[in-house]
Structure 1
């Protein structure tokens, strides 16, 4: 007699948003078919005790349910021996259990993969860059909102790659706008995104740009330090947003140098090949100040500095980040992006580099 294939699924890969959605579809279908469904979550790590109780769950020994749904998240450091109860069950499955195994890795034990039906295996990679704008537009369309290209680009600049991060950010923005009694938001604009960031985070990349535009080094340092205290692991997002703003400033500066009047130049701003007109009054004022302070060549040099800054943040340990940020803020605001010897203030005395 041939044994039935186990009701088991193996979902791998770093794209947690789509992966979690696939898990939810299975769970919801089972909950609809089995109102008293038993649900279990286990996380397999290098400690064999991390999945204590899994063997009992796999036998569906509950007194009040005829079916069990088990979600087992497999950490990268999990040993094959830790998964032995699952391997044993997959060889002799019971008919009243469904198990979904997930991992952020793209490969797991060959023994495990061999036991899960091939048609139930899927690897979820990060969403391709060219799919993300359409994903954002579809999300806001589902909320009965449009979204401008500039706002879409700004969200993509500020948010991490994974779909779950993107979904969370878009949901929070949509909720914020739906509660804003000052206006009805039929289409999300860059100004809406900036207003939400100011409301939700207090200190943002836009706060830093304000000090850069005005040449205020002390204000920039205080703002960057506050951001690091609040978001210690998100400096790359801060730098990406600053780079986006400097590219927008470069476009404005080049428009003015080509003879456009101020209003025309601001309406014709382009970033990454897409129109991102400057409309907000405060934004207009800051960009006016910045374009008087920095020439097109200065801005190009600052963009190189921002790329260097991002590289060093990713390369050096966290306890050096504040010193690195101080040095690059000085290089951008005082030296207008040009490399220099280290400025003489206390937080930089320990740095043994001259590339700043």
Structure 2
């Protein structure tokens, strides 16, 4: 890596490539300082920018090199806060590397210009791969690992796991360990692997929701939130994708199509176990119920994005309660949250 800048702005939805870049920065700083870094993380929606700037300007008693992260940077909207950041960037601390992170692709232009005065590489946008690119990337990456995966199987795996490159690389390593080099992965292989995985996923959460078991659903939710660095909004998005599939299936079944034909017409690719889960859901929820649930997703996404981290688990619990018990129909007591 070339000479480090005092601050960076990393934009865009592709987390894996951001993590790769941060890893390079961390390794370079460690090499330069010759000691472990002091790292701190802040979220813009719960951090006072004056306090953050004060922290950046004050020296550390424990390390001569500090890495400070400000996540959800798009939440910095007040002119006074933006001006404070620009003033800091005019004379940044030599001990600190500040990294602003946002999933958005746009940011205040004046702050970007202040960053780029230090280095043109200070502002980076990491775009998520197009859907049409993901399968090709996955197939090629698995080939480098010594695994073969087909078009349908790669599409299924992309539906089952998070699509960031870091997560896909991790799944590839796990599958390699599970089956060994030279394996041609089938749908049954992927289902077996996922069922033996110790970690609960958004798909097992959907499965428990379709079972209608409140206790088991909440247990799976808590395991996901505790065992993974899981983004609550991302978890909600994974559930939404499956509920949209379920709505499509329910609509085709309402037209009188046999279940196999309904899956085919709805372009819903899944395993035998997945089909069983979807069919259970189609029996539990009517088309009207599912349309109501889909609307509910948008409302709860807004709530999650505006909530403190410690409140997100409770919000998800209330969301699942409304799906399981009320089938998406709201209660006045919940609307105030």
Choose from 211, 220, 225 the match for 1:223. 220
Partner of 1:134: 133
Q: Is the 8 A contact 2:18 2:126 kept in 1?
A: no
Matched, 1:304 2:266: no
Matched, 1:103 2:99: yes
Structure 2 CA distance for partners of 1:329 and 1:182, relative to 1, 3 Å: same
Unaligned runs of 5+ in 1: 1-6, 31-37, 55-71, 87-100, 161-165, 271-275, 342-351
Partner of 1:12: 8
RMSD of Structure 2 on Structure 1 (CA): 4.4
Q: TM-score when scaled to structure 2? A: 0.65
| Corresponding pairs, count | 284
Q: Is the 8 A contact 1:206 1:242 kept in 2?
A: yes
Unaligned runs of 5+ in 2: 40-55, 71-84, 102-106
Choose from 26, 32, 45 the match for 1:40. 32
Distance in 1, matches of 2:98 and 2:312, equals: 34
Structure 2 CA distance for partners of 1:269 and 1:233, relative to 1, 3 Å: same
Distance in 1, matches of 2:168 and 2:299, equals: 30
Distance in 2, matches of 1:48 and 1:79, equals: 16
Distance in 1, matches of 2:57 and 2:278, equals: 53
Distance in 1, matches of 2:329 and 2:95, equals: 61
1:328-339 map, 5 Å: 328-339=319-330
1:1-356 map, 5 Å: 8=3, 10=5, 12-14=8-10, 17-18=16-17, 39-40=31-32, 45-49=56-60, 83-84=93-94, 103-104=99-100, 107=111, 110=114, 113-114=116-117, 121=121, 123-128=123-128, 130=130, 133-135=132-134, 137-144=136-143, 145-146=148-149, 148=151, 151-152=154-155, 155=158, 158-159=161-162, 166-181=164-179, 185-186=183-184, 196-231=193-228, 233-270=230-267, 276-278=268-270, 280-341=271-332, 353-354=334-335
Q: TM-score when scaled to structure 1? A: 0.62
Distance in 1, matches of 2:279 and 2:3, equals: 60
Distance in 2, matches of 1:159 and 1:104, equals: 23
Report the alpha carbon displacement of residue 247 of structure 1 after superposing the two structures with TM.
Answer: 1.2
Structure 2 CA distance for partners of 1:302 and 1:81, relative to 1, 3 Å: same
